[in-house]
Amino acid sequence: MAGCGPRMENVHLIVGLGNPGSEYARTRHNAGFLVTARLAERWRASWSYEKKFDARLARVQRPEAGTTLLCEPQTYMNSSGDAVGAVVGFYRVPLSKVLVVVDDADLPLGELRLRPAGSSGGHHGLESIEQRLGTRNYARLRVGIGRQPGARQITGYVLGRFDSTEAKLVDKVLNVAADQAECWLTAGIQKAMSQFNGVVNGSETEREAK
């Protein structure tokens, strides 16, 4: 993918997927946005809307990871690849330094699963990114949101907001997901997978069996 922006020696891109607009704020489908927002808050990074990407970006300089870009596509979920492809191309981000954070209804609420590559699993945001980048070979952090018991259609559920009984767990999950993304930046994907993949239980994570 040809780039036309500044060449950076060390640049990482963390993308949170979701839908823009107040009606979608803090919905289950916006789990990716919630994680990138938590990172921006933690790093005291400021967001700006960049029209050429149709995305919100925040930039930080981290001694151990160089320039880190946080990205929230404003294209709506099903066209996420348009924004991601534009940012990757413009900044010439190697795919090995791209992490996409996404909700996953096939994982129970509270479970995190980071993988270096893989299929979309039917997630339209990941499908769009795969189509635009032309590959499945980019890291993705899946944040479990669960499914409504007994329901076959999940659209209404994933577009709904977390309820009050889930708030405490969701806050812990966002913190651990942000920790995992930071570990990916500083120590690499294998360390981030072995240390954080699993179910967030209280203040700890049940680590994935090695």
Beta bridge partners of 198: 112, 207
Beta bridge partners of 161: 27
Starting at the edge strand found earlier in the chain, the sheet holding 55-62 runs 48-50, 55-62, 66-73, 11-16, 98-104, 139-144, 111-115, 198-201, 204-207
Query: What is the rounded distance in angstroms from the CA atom of residue 17 to the CA atom of residue 29?
Result: 8
Q: Which amino acid is at 72?
A: E
Catalytic residues: 29
N-term to C-term CA, the chain: 36
